Structure 1
Amino acid sequence: MKKTSVHPDPLAKNQRRAPLSAAQHRQTGAPVAQQENIRVQMARQFAFTRQQQVADSNTRISADTLVQRRVVAVTDLQALAPNLTIQPMKGTQSVNYHLRGVGFDDYYENNMSSVMVYLDDVAYPFSSMTDGMMFDIAGVDIAPGPTGFTHGMADTGGEVSLHTADPTPQWHGGITEDIASYARSRTTGYVSGPLSDTVSFRIAASTSHGGGWQYNPTNGEHLGDQDQTSIRAKLKWTPDDKTTVMIGGHWTTDKSELINGNPVLNLDPSWQKLPTYTSYRQTEWDIRPQFAKLIGRPDNLKPSEDNIFWGADVRFVRDLNFAKFQSVSAFETERQSEYSDEDGYDAATGDTYRNVDATAFSQEVKLLSREDRKLQWGVGMYYLRSQMHQQFFSDFTQYIGRGYMSNTYYDQNQQTFSQYVNVSYKLPFGIKLFGGLNHESDDRQIFNYHTIQYGHASYSFLPEGTLTNQLGGMLGIQKQIRSNLMMYFKISKGFKPGGFAANNTVRQEQLKPFKPESVLSYELGFKSDPIPGKLRLNGAAFYYDYHNQQQVESFLLPNYGMLGAYVNIPHSNIWGVEFNAEIHPFRHLYINQNLGYQRGTYSVFNALDTTRVNNYHSATGIYKAFYKDYSGEDMGSPKLTLSGSAAYRIQPIPKYEAELGLNWSYRDSQAMTPGGNGVYRLPPYFLLGSYASFGPTSKMWSVTVYATNLLNRQYSLTSSSDTTTYQHVPGEPRFVGGRFSFNM
């Protein structure tokens, strides 16, 4: 429903009904079969015209918008969609997703996200697998609410679907160089074309370097430089007009430095005072030679990644006349090594090094009816098998409560099998009924779990397992009131399987699995074009009945301290509204605005009161559990999110165009703990960006200058905590850059 898009040049009126030019084809990257649809979108000014008759509240983002807003990582998407939160875990490449207040914080990535990420219809069960994938993207769909009725796996919060550009039947290529502040550079390029009458290919690559804006005030050393390279290839074979085979592969290496947290609270007053910084960009980190030797890395190691991701997939599509058969097979791997300074300063109280070796195989098959029938249906099955070996080392040597280095490692296997069916029927008077069912079985085991506290103790744990069988459903009705106005109402129920906490485990009960969660969703929405080509307005209102919400909380281990654990919150509810407006008030000016507002409340919830526990331990030296009733408390998600853009396009001289643009985003405050205030609540922030571009109307080349965080606001992306400190992870300062693109 909410759509962020860039509209075609209104001056090129003589091209609106003509076939797509070679330059326009290069810009869209669309295959020939899609050119007619693109011409329709151009004629009506606003993109995604066909989706205006689809009963959903998805945010659809075009390739042009991704470039103009400089979306280079999945975390950048939260500034383009309402009620969406995508946060890096402790400044690392692992990511947490929240959509309409439904999400899951999982630093160790051994559980399923409440918002599933797909790349070209392949589900990514481990969030860091999207590292380096945001280049040569054809578009992004963000779908809120329970999912799994038309493809993939069932989930409670929704999904983020990334679509990469496909091979083209004509020869095309391009390269873009982006240089900005703090010696940051990003180079991307692609080449696409035919190998024969039935075979075409596309190869795209991206490499990023520099950009480190944090520095250590004690020695001036910088932190945050990128060092990432990715390549992706596709081969398309169309042996006849009814069959398509697509083979793809990708590879990424990432040795980028991390963003370090800034301590804002001393969790243990018996420990030394926190550092005092005089600049937003300052931070401290350190690694002890003994710890570097234990993990086999150099003594001068900075907080950083050392990752390799690769994968391959095969897609087969066959038109059977009465229906279309589709099959997607994929294999993905993750080799991640990550060092993070989790106390946020130069002390050995929470330094962590993590190794992850994971694989995922998936297979989906489905059958879809013809689109020109009153009765439409789809049926499919999805299978996922993942295996993970994870090992993480911690240096607590200077933490009085522990005083040792530790090593925790384990293995985890997962198998998920889901089936789904969906149906819709067109009635007279523009009415359509639609519905769907899904069933999912998820089987997980965690085993070979060991914790070694060097010079202190060693623990071995029994294996644990959890099996979830869940059934979801969706039922709705839509009415095409007029050609430019559609309304819909739907009810859906989604589930998410349970899992395990994988922390510094020292007791068997810490491995007890948590239960599945479920969301019953009610949604009422509309899509309209009150003034075609001039004004588009879409909106939705929703209510979620949330049961057994999975949330990370603190677990108190007597004579040891607090550890992270997952709990099931018995009941909560979320409600909200979302709007999107696209406005073309007069020639040359295009405006887009998203608005999201949501409120979530815990109905029944008791949790550990960490503040009282820490204060009692500071006064007595004893850990004692204190609990607090959070029933009636706000769930803490940002209540108001705004994002928008304005572009002014002209032709200053014949055959050349210029564009000036502004973009903005606002995020309300976010409580990072139940009822969190003070340092436990991230302050609201407003970001402003701008750009100016110039180039020929043929799109053969373009030059752009831009600024992000134009007002140089200081803000926090997320927060984290460890043994002695609570930290805020800062967002980027102002970056000023230039971009040059050449296409042929």
Structure 2
Amino acid sequence: MATASICAVSFASVTHAEAADQNVAAAATQQSATTGTRSDAGVGEIIVTAQKRSESINTVPMSITAVSGEQLLAKGVNGPADLVKVLPSLQVTQTQKGNPVYTLRGVGFFDGTQGSRPTVGLYVDEVELPFSSMARGATLDLERVEVLKGPQGTLFGQNATGGVINYIAAKPTDVLHYGGSATYGRFSEGNIQGYVSGPLNDTLSVRLAGKHEFGSGWQKSYTRDETLGDIDVTTARLQLDWHPSERVKFLLNLNGFNDRSESQAPASLEIRSRVPGALPAQFDGYPPTPRNPRAADWDVGGNFRNDTKFRQASLRGDFELGDIGTLTSLSSYAHMDILTRADADGVNFPNLVQNDTSTLETAAQELRLAGDIGSRLSYVVGTSYAWYRAEQYSDQRFTISSINGTFAMFGITDPLESSPVFVSSRYKTLSAFGNIDYKITDALKIHAGIRYSETKAKSSGCMLTGEGDEVGFSMLYSFVRSQLGLGPVSIAPGGCQSASATYEPGLGRFKLKEHSVPFRVGIDWDVAPRTMVYANVSRGFKGASYPVLGSTRLDAFEAAKQEELTAYEVGFKSSLLNRSLQLNGAAFYYDYKDKQLLGSVFDPIFGPGPKLINVPKSRVYGAELQIDWVPVEGLTIAGGATYLKTKILGCSPADAAPGTAGCQSDGFYNYDGYGSLINLTGQRFAFAPELSGNLDVQYKIAIRDDLNAFIGGSVQAQSSVLQRLGENFALGAADPNRITKQNAYALVDVRLGVSGRDDRWSAFIWGRNVTNKYYKTSTFYSSDTTVGFIGRPATYGLTVTFNH
């Protein structure tokens, strides 16, 4: 767990592999930074492992944000989604199935498929979490979190086009330490967490940490007296650090979490039938959702409690080979069972309910050698293998829905109860990589890295018939086939209803093989003491992902192919004013090929359904600035701002296919939520605000020798953002994106408390979103409604921490 200090602007920390003299120096810097005083160290030296070795953050020629465990605790970062409080270029959005989607510098996508692999790589101590749902417990007992921006494919592989979030867990110690914290607030929400760390003998140390999160329903039905949103999450981690000799070290990490929380219900933003004239009578006079962060609605008597279990084991071995370098082996295995129950329609009757059961599994092995050749050349070379499995079953129920009007047109009167979808996917990736850093002079360095990866993937899936629905689909397909001069078909109970181009139902089977060669070259120059400028060119890839969607078309289950991003970045890092001010900045340009974005595929029965599509050409450019400042003793200021411009550029004329979704002569077309073809050329990306920023200010003062008082607050703000591509353009409204656009907003948090002079304990009251701002975090189409997740209302509470 983080120490009790909550006012650090920055910090020093080192990995277990560093030498003891570095630990001593870092500890001294840590003390001055966490007490908020001016010293020769100023805002402190931050040690990171961004390039898979320990080094000062100000010597790494790339844009990095590092935040200590103390800062995360103070700012209310309780899970991965809360990182937006400290990183303005990051967007974390929730899908209708509950899994988060990460977008960094506009690089991301919105896809509810549990088995989709992210554009922002997620790691704990360099161990990959290949599926975003696996990161739920990653913030337990952290030393720090490092966010690397821009493609990171050379050292971290595929699926890091946007960057990497690497959580660094606090490590076992060679002396006894223990501590904990307790938080309680509005809606009876809070958490209790603690850790104990120390030696078992001269060569073996252990650290055990745990956390339980709890809470009652924060959402309130506006049509009846019920609440929703219980929180019930338990997370644990056990680490064993064994040093059998001075040259050999092992770190075993066993961790996991259980999540039995209730799913958040979306708010209904608009009611509109998918099938003209077939809107169910239950919608007549249905009251609109109030603009209140707590207001929502869900099925009467519905059970929306989830049951998710995650388990992971990793083993790191470091073997010092003298002048050759250090050989590192990193082995890991993870298994996750997911059961989510979600009301997806925002009304109190079953218009669309999603019950999903998924199993995610991964195993990986990395072997690398890192060292120095002389005093000027550092190198890392290695190889890795990773295997992923995603078994996904999604039961979509729409008992009272206009979708049944499609069947009525064919004389089929029995309503369609559900459309279960099953998809089974496998991925295997084998890679080899290398990276060098060479000092031309003491002030001028060059960097180069490359990786070759081969990925083999296969998938099978289809939409199944619900109970009794095989009769209706058999009748429907037989009718259509008769118009084509083909014979009838019969679907077995529980069989596939997805069909080929000739309306013959069956299981879809797909395979693909992809190769990628991410690289990075760059140069940095120490233009003055404690001031560096750098320039990089890098390329990254995001691998293909198979969709899970309700579609009668088998070809809808084909994967979106891998995307390619080439990034150009220049930046600087400067420590000023006697090291009391750290100022970092960067400008970047991203050239995209085949970017994966959430679009739609048209289904003749169900209408448009969400699916990842490839946009041939697009681009991103922008700039960012980050500041850490201790202007006077006790006052700390930390903040950042990001400017971002994203644009879909469309297609080349050679790719044009008039009259269809995809490339046409005047741009790239895709379907909106109601089946109309829309030209997406010129649009900005979803979840990519043009301006975003955050600012945190805190003042700490000694009120007696053994007691400090502090007061602080933060603001997180962003300009307007689209939450779905091309939606609502067919409505003819003055603002065609009025539903799927979130206007500019700002969130304000405050805190006030006391701490011991030695920062071994603290107690503070806090408020989050104190203005009770109403804002949408994501928007999507349901059966006959457009719905959105609404951000949390104003909350307040008390946190107490202690460390020994």
Residue 439, structure 1, aligned to residue 452, structure 2 = yes
Which residue of structure 2 lines up, in the alignment, with residue 213 of structure 1?
218
2: CA distance, partners of 1:197 / 1:30: 17
Which residue of structure 1 lines up, in the alignment, with residue 392 of structure 2?
390
Match of 2:85 among 79, 89, 95: 79
Deviation of 1:478 (Å): 0.5
Q: 1:200 to 1:559 in 2, by over 3 A?
A: closer
Counterpart contact for 1:406–1:454, Cα < 8 Å: no
Counterpart contact for 2:252–2:316, Cα < 8 Å: yes
Moved more, 200-209 or 156-165: 156-165
Counterpart contact for 1:205–1:232, Cα < 8 Å: yes
Which residue of structure 1 lines up, in the alignment, with residue 484 of structure 2?
none
Residue 645, structure 1, aligned to residue 693, structure 2 = no
Which residue of structure 1 lines up, in the alignment, with residue 164 of structure 2?
159
Residue 70, structure 1, aligned to residue 76, structure 2 = yes
Match of 1:187 among 181, 185, 192: 192
1: CA distance, partners of 2:706 / 2:676: 71
Q: 1:154 to 1:181 in 2, by over 3 A?
A: closer
Moved more, 713-722 or 348-357: 713-722
Match of 1:366 among 360, 364, 368: 368
- Per-residue CA deviation, residues 513-556 of structure 1 (Å, 9 max, x unaligned), is 22211011000000001213322211000000011011111111
Deviation of 1:133 (Å): 2.7
Which residue of structure 1 lines up, in the alignment, with residue 474 of structure 2?
none
Map 1:585-604 to 2 at 5 A. 585-604=631-650
Which residue of structure 2 lines up, in the alignment, with residue 554 of structure 1?
600
The two structures, once aligned, show a CA RMSD in angstroms of: 2.3
Q: 1:8 to 1:35 in 2, by over 3 A?
A: farther
Q: 1:247 to 1:440 in 2, by over 3 A?
A: same
Which residue of structure 2 lines up, in the alignment, with residue 724 of structure 1?
784
Count, aligned residues: 701
Match of 1:634 among 684, 698, 705: 684
Match of 2:351 among 349, 352, 357: 349
Map 1:478-627 to 2 at 5 A. 478-604=524-650, 605-610=667-672, 614=674, 626-627=676-677
Unaligned segments of structure 2, at least 5 residues: 33-39, 47-55, 405-415, 471-494, 497-505, 651-666, 728-736
3-state DSSP class of the match of 1:227? strand
Moved more, 273-282 or 645-654: 273-282
3-state DSSP class of the match of 2:532? strand
Which residue of structure 2 lines up, in the alignment, with residue 35 of structure 1?
24
2: CA distance, partners of 1:664 / 1:211: 27
Residue 661, structure 1, aligned to residue 712, structure 2 = yes
Residue 417, structure 1, aligned to residue 430, structure 2 = yes
3-state DSSP class of the match of 2:202? coil
1: CA distance, partners of 2:683 / 2:156: 36
Which residue of structure 2 lines up, in the alignment, with residue 95 of structure 1?
100
Counterpart contact for 1:634–1:675, Cα < 8 Å: no
1:171 counterpart letter in structure 2? L
Moved more, 368-377 or 567-576: 368-377
Deviation of 1:348 (Å): 1.5
Deviation of 1:635 (Å): 2.3
2: CA distance, partners of 1:47 / 1:371: 30
Map 1:660-679 to 2 at 5 A. 660-675=711-726, 677-679=737-739
Counterpart contact for 1:30–1:166, Cα < 8 Å: no
Counterpart contact for 2:8–2:636, Cα < 8 Å: no
Map 1:318-337 to 2 at 5 A. 318-321=319-322, 322-337=324-339
Q: 1:609 to 1:153 in 2, by over 3 A?
A: closer
Match of 1:697 among 745, 753, 757: 757
3-state DSSP class of the match of 1:182? helix
Moved more, 339-348 or 30-39: 30-39
Counterpart contact for 1:264–1:679, Cα < 8 Å: yes
3-state DSSP class of the match of 2:468? coil
Which residue of structure 2 lines up, in the alignment, with residue 61 of structure 1?
67
Counterpart contact for 2:117–2:132, Cα < 8 Å: no
Q: 1:559 to 1:250 in 2, by over 3 A?
A: closer
3-state DSSP class of the match of 1:733? coil
1: CA distance, partners of 2:436 / 2:167: 25
Counterpart contact for 1:98–1:115, Cα < 8 Å: yes
1: CA distance, partners of 2:19 / 2:306: 35
2: CA distance, partners of 1:143 / 1:546: 19
3-state DSSP class of the match of 1:717? strand
Deviation of 1:730 (Å): 0.7
2: CA distance, partners of 1:500 / 1:9: 42
- Per-residue CA deviation, residues 226-285 of structure 1 (Å, 9 max, x unaligned), is 011111100000112221101110121110112211011123174225532344312111
Which residue of structure 1 lines up, in the alignment, with residue 417 of structure 2?
404
- Per-residue CA deviation, residues 588-612 of structure 1 (Å, 9 max, x unaligned), is 211111000100011105233426x
Match of 1:243 among 243, 248, 270: 248
Q: 1:249 to 1:9 in 2, by over 3 A?
A: closer
Deviation of 1:411 (Å): 1.7
Q: 1:154 to 1:374 in 2, by over 3 A?
A: farther
Match of 1:200 among 198, 202, 205: 205
Residue 736, structure 1, aligned to residue 796, structure 2 = yes
2: CA distance, partners of 1:154 / 1:658: 44
- Normalised to the residue count of structure 1, the TM-score between the two structures is 0.90
1: CA distance, partners of 2:441 / 2:378: 15
Moved more, 544-553 or 270-279: 270-279
1: CA distance, partners of 2:777 / 2:24: 40
Which residue of structure 2 lines up, in the alignment, with residue 51 of structure 1?
57
1: CA distance, partners of 2:352 / 2:579: 56
1: CA distance, partners of 2:738 / 2:387: 43
3-state DSSP class of the match of 2:456? strand
Q: 1:214 to 1:685 in 2, by over 3 A?
A: same
Match of 1:254 among 259, 271, 276: 259
Bigger proportion of residues as strand? 1
3-state DSSP class of the match of 2:73? helix
Moved more, 217-226 or 320-329: 217-226
3-state DSSP class of the match of 1:406? coil
1: CA distance, partners of 2:708 / 2:295: 42
- Normalised to the residue count of structure 2, the TM-score between the two structures is 0.84
Q: 1:452 to 1:675 in 2, by over 3 A?
A: closer
2:569 counterpart letter in structure 1? E
1: CA distance, partners of 2:430 / 2:375: 30
Q: 1:136 to 1:213 in 2, by over 3 A?
A: same
Match of 2:516 among 470, 475, 487: 470
Deviation of 1:115 (Å): 0.9
Identity %: 25
Moved more, 533-542 or 209-218: 209-218
